[in-house]
Amino acid sequence: MVEFQDVSLKFGGNRLFDSLSFNLPRGGRLIIQGASGTGKTTLLRMMLGFVLPDKGRILIVGQELNLDNVWEIRQKMAYVSQEMQIGRGRVETFVREIFNYKKNRGISYRRERLLELLEDFQLSEDTIHKKLEDLSGGELQRVAIIVTLLLDREIYLLDEVTSALDQPLKELIVSYFTGLREKTLIISSHDKIWHQQDFSTLNLDKHGSST
Positions that interact with another protein (CB under 8 A) = 45, 48-52, 67, 70-71, 74-75, 77-81, 84-88, 98, 101-104, 144, 147-148, 151, 157
Nearer to another protein, 27 or 50 (CB): 50
Nearer to another protein, 104 or 163 (CB): 104
Nearer to another protein, 76 or 190 (CB): 76
The least CB distance from residue 85 to another protein, in Å, is 5
Nearer to another protein, 180 or 201 (CB): 180
Q: Classify 184 in phi/psi space as left (phi over 0), alpha (psi -120 to 50) or beta.
A: beta
Exposure pattern of 128-148 as b/e (b: 16+ CB <10 Å)? bebebeebeebbbbbbbbbbb
The least CB distance from residue 75 to another protein, in Å, is 6
* DSSP 3-state of 54: coil
The least CB distance from residue 55 to another protein, in Å, is 17
- Going by their DSSP bridges, the two strands 29-33 and 184-188 should be labelled as parallel
The least CB distance from residue 81 to another protein, in Å, is 5
| Alpha helix positions (H), 29-163 | 40-47, 70-73, 91-99, 111-120, 137-151
> What DSSP state is assigned to residue 153?
-
Nearer to another protein, 12 or 25 (CB): 12
The least CB distance from residue 83 to another protein, in Å, is 8
Burial environment of residue 151 by CB neighbours within 10 A (0 to 12, 13 to 18, 19 or more): middle
